[in-house]
Chain A
Amino acid sequence: MSDILLQGAGVETFYGKIQALRGIDFEVHKGEITTVIGANGAGKSTLMMTICGTPRARAGSIVFDGVEISKMPTHEIVHLGIAQSPEGRRIFPRMTVFENLQMGATVDKLQHFDEDLVKVFKLFPRLEERRAQRAGTLSGGEQQMLAIGRALMARPRLLLLDEPSLGLAPIIVKLIFAAIKKLNEEEGLTVLLVEQNAFHALRLAHRAYVMVNGKITITGTGAELLNRPEVRAAYLEGGH
């Protein structure tokens, strides 16, 4: 039905001798939210980083909008329109909130900075209140908002979100997932979302993958996976 924006085939990634991705096939379709769920250490973050070329895939292909990106340097890949809010947020602690957002607009060369800043502040009003504050002194939830806001400043065609709910209070998690949903529905933004918080992610996702030990084991729509007994048993029961 819809166009494929990102497609991986047989992707393998190593850390030294340790193989973290063991031949992954996946698709991200335009305008959809795709999610990858899986236990800690399954290789989800490695997948996100491999898409951005750091570390580089040792085998397989990754095609973004018709361009083979698996051999490109990171800064060139992101210039094609991929932005990531990485695991652990990685905001620049000694820069202000405003400067972090300026960094986010690097790909856009600050051309639409003012306009995009208004949008991000509308999405996360908390950031506007703290715009002159050093990012290292923000709360965890605010840092997460900043990491997402910074990624949005690049005007990405594909947004990668790695565990945006990690370590946050339920009320903040709700706020962040609402923002993701809004971006997708109102702006048609394509999102690849990695989550341990499987329940929230699957409810949001059009397309979902379960990852175990560096491999994709189950594929389906979000709703399908929510109802699969083995998914429920492994990732949902006892959860929310």
Chain B
Amino acid sequence: MEYFLQQLINGLTLGSIYGLIAIGYTMVYGIIGMINFAHGDVFMVGSVVSFIVILGLGITGGSGSFMIILALALVVIIAMLIASVYNWTIERVAYRPLRGSFRLAPLISAIGMSIVLQEFVRIAQEGRPKPIQAVITGKHELLHRLTEGGEFIVTISNMQILIIISTLALMAIFTMIIQRTSLGRAQRACEQDQKMASLLGIDVDRTISITFILGAALAAFAGMMFFLYYNVTDFFIGFLAGIKAFTAAVLGGIGSIPGAMLGGMVIGLIEVMWSAYFSVEYKDVAAFTVLVIVLIFMPQGLLGKPEVEKV
């Protein structure tokens, strides 16, 4: 039981990161019907930028907590800005000119962009993994029990608390934006009927650009959290994390934002639980197996949109 609880905490932490990335996939798919395969690498850029800025500011776990908070606020702003500029540019140069061409063209372009980002960071950063000392340290004991099998301690680290709480907060803010603001409405309108949206005065190109920016900001935030959690990053982390997050988006129902979040949590939990109870080697296989099973029985994904509309 204690062991399970510990894995649950670990799984939710990882799932939060996947979920934040997955939102970017699902939003872009929703609005232009394509998978932005470079999105995982935008997450990577967010994480590498966080590394550079943290190193540049020279903060470590030993800095005062006020300094750390201030520095991390700066880190997150810079990471979000740079990742947004990247994603915005990708859409402008690699996807927009191909809108209306055959379906595989933007897909190829997306894979190309993914490689460009990876290679750019690899060359600029000389390819080595980037470890640092933990910036956010400390943990809390939730449970401490002696049993026949030995001593069980369930802990949650400050970093895990930060990841889970800030993810929930971002999700809430984000849901508000989508459901309640005119920007969110414009976005949903473009998802449903771009031509009609433009007939009502919506600048569709601008709305698409904003979608890429919002997705990138969330991915950059996830990238920073990922880096602070593992204290290491490199140019290649976007590949697997991106595929997992994409899987999460499909699992949750591509196009659905709550679905992306739920899918992220499910993938994170499966990965951690499988590693804990079965074998670490097969954790990715397990995650993808669940995806396949869900899609066989629920082709729309867990929270996919029902297509039964009377029009």
Contacts and interface: CB of A to CB of B under 8 A. Distances in A.
A111 to B, nearest CB: 12
Contacts of B182: 102, 106, 110
Interface string A57-83: 000000000000000011100110001
Q: Which interface class (under 10, 10 to 19, 20 to 34, 35 or more) fits B?
A: 20 to 34
Interface residues of A, number: 30
Contacts of B201: 75, 78-79, 106-107, 154
A125 B277 CA distance: 61
Nearest to A109: B182
B188 A54 contact: no
Contacts of B193: 90, 92
Given A75-B201, A106-B202, A154-B201, A90 B185 contact: no
Interface stretch (B36-44, B54-62, B242-250, B303-311): B303-311
Given A92-B193, A94-B188, A110-B182, A103 B309 contact: no
Contacts of A75: 198, 201-204
A4 B56 CA distance: 65
Interface in B156-197: 182, 185-186, 188-189, 192-193, 195-197
Nearest to B188: A95
B200 to A, nearest CB: 5
Which residue of B197, B198, B199, B200 has the most chain A CB atoms within 10 A of its CB atom?
A: B199
A110 B305 CA distance: 29
Nearest to A93: B309
Interface in A101-121: 102-104, 106-107, 110
B200 A106 contact: yes
Nearest to A147: B196
A136 interface: yes
Q: Per DSSP, are chain B's interface residues mostly helix, strand or loop, or mixed? A: helix
A150 B200 contact: yes
B199 A95 contact: no
Interface string A13-26: 00000000000000
Nearest to B204: A75
B200 A95 contact: no
Interface string B197-224: 1111111100000000000000000000
A86 B201 CA distance: 14
B305 to A, nearest CB: 7
A88 B310 CA distance: 12
Given A86-B199, A94-B188, A102-B182, 18 more contacts: A52-B199, A54-B195, A73-B203, A75-B198, A78-B199, A84-B199, A92-B196, A93-B192, A94-B192, A95-B192, A99-B185, A103-B185, A104-B200, A106-B186, A107-B201, A136-B311, A138-B310, A143-B311
22 contacts: A54-B195, A54-B199, A73-B198, A73-B203, A75-B202, A75-B204, A79-B201, A90-B193, A90-B195, A92-B188, A92-B189, A92-B192, A93-B192, A93-B309, A94-B192, A103-B186, A103-B189, A106-B201, A137-B310, A138-B310, A143-B311, A150-B200
Interface of A: 52, 54, 73-75, 78-79, 83-84, 86, 88-90, 92-95, 99, 102-104, 106-107, 110, 136-138, 143, 150, 154
